[in-house]
Amino acid sequence: MDRTVRYQGAILRGDHLLLIKHREHASGRSYWLLPGGGLEPPETEEACVIREMQEETHLQVRVERLLLDDFIESKRGYKRYKTYLCRVEDGEAQPGYEPEESASSIYGIVEVGWFDLCHPETWDELARNDAITFPFLQRILVSLGYQGGLG
């Protein structure tokens, strides 16, 4: 499995972006992030995104296009994040699961939330203060042409 690249979905419904909330079992720490994960051979990138969205949000999505391709300096974990713009085809968003035992033993998906792109001031403080998620949210806003930003 390719674990140097994270394939994630920016799922839109109108002017709202879906994020999932992880909670670490040991510490209880929670954080919001875009749903996604690693490629499983012989998957294509789009097939990976569709599978990850189904597993983590219970949504069937249509991948529209690559939205962001980011390289991040990191001593561990993902080094590249490919974010695909997705639209809901079917289903209602709800917390999914992490099928990999190594990850599910560390955290669980406990909540899903639709974040209003027109009103980022209404977003959960966990998302606004997260050093990883916040820059992605800013770049998504810019890439999709939303004004105002997140200050």
Answer whether 99's CB lies under 8 Å from 54's CB.
Answer: no
DSSP E strands: which ranges in 25-141?
A: 30-33, 36-39, 60-71, 80-90, 107-116
Which residue is associated with the tokens 């997705």?
Answer: 86
pLDDT of residue 98: 83
First CA to last CA distance, the chain: 37
Q: What is the pLDDT of residues 104-129, one digit of tens each?
A: 788 999 999 999 999 998 999 999 99
- Between residues 101 and 10, which one has the greater pLDDT? 10
pLDDT of residue 76: 66
The structural domains of the chain, with segments of one domain joined by +, span: 2-143
CATH superfamily name and code, 2-143: Nucleoside Triphosphate Pyrophosphohydrolase (3.90.79.10)
Closest CA to 8 of 77, 82, 76, 75: 82
